[in-house]
Structure 1
Amino acid sequence: MSHPSVPRIGRTVAGLGTAAVCSAGLLAAPAPASASPGARHTTRPYPNLATTPPMGWNNWSYYACRINEKVVLDNARALVRTGLARRGYDTVTVDDCWMSRRRGPRDELVPDPVKFPHGMAYVGQQLHRMGLRFGIYTDVGTLTCEKYPGSLGHFRQDAQLFARWKVDYVKADGCNVPVPRGRGKEETYRDLYGQLSSALRDAGRPITFSVSAPAYFQFDGDRVWHRVIGWSSELGNLWRGGRDVAGRKSSPATKWASILYNFRYNANLAELQRPGRWNDPDFLLVGDSDLTRQEMRSQMSLWAMMAAPLISSTDVGKLSGAAREILGNERVIAVDQDPLGVQGRIVQQGRDSTVLAKPLANGDWAIALFNAGDAARTLSITAGAAGLPEAGSYRLRDLVTGRGLRSDGEIVARQVPAHGTVLYRVTPG
């Protein structure tokens, strides 16, 4: 009997132009509904293997299926050479299309012999020699999004194979999931991701688990979507919430629109994140030549404020000096990796502006003033409105320029450029 399958909501946002993104209601993500899982399922929480948001590199947005051993290892070497690995970008993940089209004689996943002639264990070995971690992609359905073999029916076998290859991180997509008659979509996804979660737990190696389930429920209604995020946070360490960020071949306007879209839905999910369990709004496009410096700074700053995984998807060896500086800004990275693990919250929202506030472990706060508009503007908020503790004065440090300021209670960013963000670290008193 054939079953309907659930396709991916979109490997890219091609066709999602600026006008579509800015249509009424699309960017105004609603407040979260209850995320408590249903009572029918009992699953041991996945080990807490990501005490801070994961950082690293993934090929998908830039290379898609044009991936091979050389591309992966060249980008890994570039992470080390540029110093980005020392700043935390230490997990190199091979996304879809690494496999052969058919499983092997023992039903095992087989690396494409042309793309990866030395096999995936070799790739992992080389990454570990560089001091990096090895990530790999699979899918809980019958096929991956690009129609390579999925893990459905092979969860334990594949998890054990990944462990033998010394994999440190698994990203599990949710394309081509058959939903049997008489069973709901959510129940099916929860069961399949639960099976893979258990298999990875029992594989004998600590493997950080990235769950893509919520991305397939973003348009099923907020109550369902947030509930799926709730059980995903029990099954894994981080989860993709919605659409993929735009790919390399998209227009500059589409790339910026996709960053804006992913920021605005994810910024409204702060209630559903908790320390060690991370909302993932997808890859950093910093380094893409189609983005302006202000747009690159904004994505980096906003992702840091949201305690989002910082996973670059570009050609690291061709990064401009500006892109290396933005990706490697240790002051901004520290906001993302702050051990308190709190996702920043929206404290002020205008038509084309957003202010977020985030408490930090040492008692400081991070404040981001984001101008999404097409003209420069001055943005401000009072310390009280931002939720800062009352104090006689506040010391501000611009985390991009390093410049220090002092305020008696109003936090101001003057003439923030179009698509720009000013990120302050604020010390009360």
Structure 2
Amino acid sequence: MTLLRLKRSISLAIIAVITASLVQACAWSEAAPASTGSAGARAAATPPMGWNSWNHFGCSVTEDDVMSAARALVDDGLLAAGYRYVNLDDCWQASHRTSTGELTADPLRFPHGIAALSAYVHGLGLKFGLYATPGRYTCGNLYNDYPGRLGSLGQEQTDARTFARWKVDYLKYDWCKADHDGVHAQHAFTLMRGALDDTGRAIVFSIHTVPEVPVSSWRAGTADLWRTTRDIKDDWASMISIARTNLALARFAGPGHWNDPDMLEVGNGGMTEPEYRTHFSLWCMMAAPLLLGNDLGHMDPATLRLVANRAAIAVDQDPLGSQGHVVEQGRSHSVIVKPLADGDVALSITNESASVQAVSLVQGELGLPNVPTRVLDIWTGESRSWTTGPLTTTVMPHDTAMYRLSGASRH
């Protein structure tokens, strides 16, 4: 066992002691939440980065799983790279609300409760996220035989106050057939947004309504990010289809309001390393939220190198907030350009075919001035000069080349 894994095992072994202390420290949690400043000031100036439990753990997620993920974000340097949110998705709830209508945690899988779990996450310098729905049921209730009727319909103010009391920093509010309960999307999401703001706590608000497209005009004024596609699956066909859908929606994205093509599957085993590189590259080029969905406590070195690449993350987190747009779409490949705040330009070339492709690009055809340009290969770290003539790149099947161009500001 490596020293890193040994340290992580030791930390998990003493969780019971730590969380017992945190429960006492969180005794204040029955009081009204203290204000953290203007609730109207949105907390997602750049796309949120972190981890979500659903893609790997689903309805089997436990307290230990979440704590292990939080510890891994710190130990593996991912917090330092920008990953801040530890988001507990569906199936965290007990099957019934309390006599006063409040949600509580499943006592077997979350024996110390959500307040203590949130305090543990915050104690590591991270932020904590949770999941709810606007109808009577969660998706776990509907699709995973999870017991109860645990949606927030009619309980929006109660749930918002509960989330704030638990110091939740991020709420994923998932549709889950709420229309079957007579719920109107704009009203439901606006209602919860207002309830969250009323608590005085700044909480990132991530919504998923159905249909995902077209993107309704009210979403940008209500949510910090909104789903634009169906749920992702851990395979090439699902991932590339979702990317194509989201790429067409670039005009809706910008600082504080982001298109969300769903969480990352990188490291879950259903795709090859080049396909995962494409997955991560495209999400960065699209200024998408970067929410890891793998088992961080058992992440292999190749996956860690991929998701911790600072140059790729800088493209995603660029303060200009521009979503990349397709400038060339062929039968075998696509080319995306993304302007950056310092005048640089990010460029990606994705080989969507099953054979090796040599792609030649000309600056003028990309909307770039024909001037000497420094080309940084984001995945290899190598640098070269692009003067006149075409830039030729060989891209392996289902792989993506990604560059940062300096001195090539668009007209």
Give the Cα separation in 2 of the matches to 1:169 and 1:311.
12
Give the Cα separation in 1 of the matches to 2:177 and 2:399.
39
Displacement of 1:392: 2.5
Displacement of 1:369: 0.5
Displacement of 1:412: 3.0
In 2 relative to 1, CA 120–397 (structure 1 residues): closer, same or farther, beyond 3 Å? same
3-state SS of 2:132 partner:
strand
Q: Are 1:259 and 2:239 counterparts?
A: yes
**Aligned with residue 207 of structure 2, among 207, 211, 215:** 211
**Aligned with residue 380 of structure 1, among 345, 360, 377:** 360
In 2 relative to 1, CA 91–353 (structure 1 residues): closer, same or farther, beyond 3 Å? same
Q: Are 1:344 and 2:331 counterparts?
A: no
Query: Is the CA contact (8 Å cut-off) linking 1:46 and 1:234 kept in structure 2?
Result: no
Q: What is the letter of the counterpart of residue 125 of structure 2? A: G
Listed as ranges, the matches of 1:24-63 within 5 Å are: 47-63=41-57
1:371 is matched with 351
Listed as ranges, the matches of 1:406-425 within 5 Å are: 406-410=385-389, 412-425=391-404
Report how many aligned residue pairs link the two structures: 363
In 2 relative to 1, CA 118–410 (structure 1 residues): closer, same or farther, beyond 3 Å? farther
Give the Cα separation in 1 of the matches to 2:259 and 2:392.
28
1:241 is matched with 228
Q: What runs of 5+ residues in structure 2 fail to find an aligned partner?
A: 1-38, 142-147
Q: What is the letter of the counterpart of residue 372 of structure 2? A: S
In 2 relative to 1, CA 410–279 (structure 1 residues): closer, same or farther, beyond 3 Å? farther
Query: Is the CA contact (8 Å cut-off) linking 1:376 and 1:418 kept in structure 2?
Result: yes
2:131 is matched with 137
3-state SS of 1:65 partner:
helix
Q: What runs of 5+ residues in structure 1 fail to find an aligned partner?
A: 1-44, 219-224, 248-254
**Aligned with residue 293 of structure 1, among 244, 265, 273:** 273
Displacement of 1:46: 5.4
Give the Cα separation in 1 of the matches to 2:204 and 2:351.
35
Give the Cα separation in 2 of the matches to 1:115 and 1:180.
29
Listed as ranges, the matches of 1:53-92 within 5 Å are: 53-92=47-86
1:112 is matched with 106
Query: Is the CA contact (8 Å cut-off) linking 2:42 and 2:202 kept in structure 1?
Result: no
1:330 is matched with 310
Give the Cα separation in 2 of the matches to 1:179 and 1:61.
25
Query: Is the CA contact (8 Å cut-off) linking 1:394 and 1:409 kept in structure 2?
Result: no
Give the Cα separation in 2 of the matches to 1:410 and 1:155.
59
Give the Cα separation in 1 of the matches to 2:302 and 2:261.
23
Give the Cα separation in 1 of the matches to 2:348 and 2:269.
24
2:214 is matched with 226
Give the Cα separation in 1 of the matches to 2:323 and 2:287.
5
Give the Cα separation in 1 of the matches to 2:171 and 2:299.
26
Q: What is the letter of the counterpart of residue 190 of structure 1? A: Q
Query: Is the CA contact (8 Å cut-off) linking 2:215 and 2:228 kept in structure 1?
Result: no
3-state SS of 2:139 partner:
coil
In 2 relative to 1, CA 171–180 (structure 1 residues): closer, same or farther, beyond 3 Å? closer
Query: Is the CA contact (8 Å cut-off) linking 1:396 and 1:427 kept in structure 2?
Result: yes
Give the Cα separation in 2 of the matches to 1:409 and 1:141.
58
Query: Is the CA contact (8 Å cut-off) linking 1:391 and 1:428 kept in structure 2?
Result: no
Give the Cα separation in 2 of the matches to 1:53 and 1:272.
13
2:196 is matched with 200
Q: Are 1:271 and 2:262 counterparts?
A: no
3-state SS of 1:137 partner:
strand
Give the Cα separation in 2 of the matches to 1:160 and 1:413.
56
Displacement of 1:289: 2.6
Displacement of 1:308: 0.3
Query: Is the CA contact (8 Å cut-off) linking 1:286 and 1:323 kept in structure 2?
Result: yes
2:17 is matched with none
Q: Residue deviations 1:207-229, cap 9 Å, x none?
A: 0100112xx114xxxxxx3242x
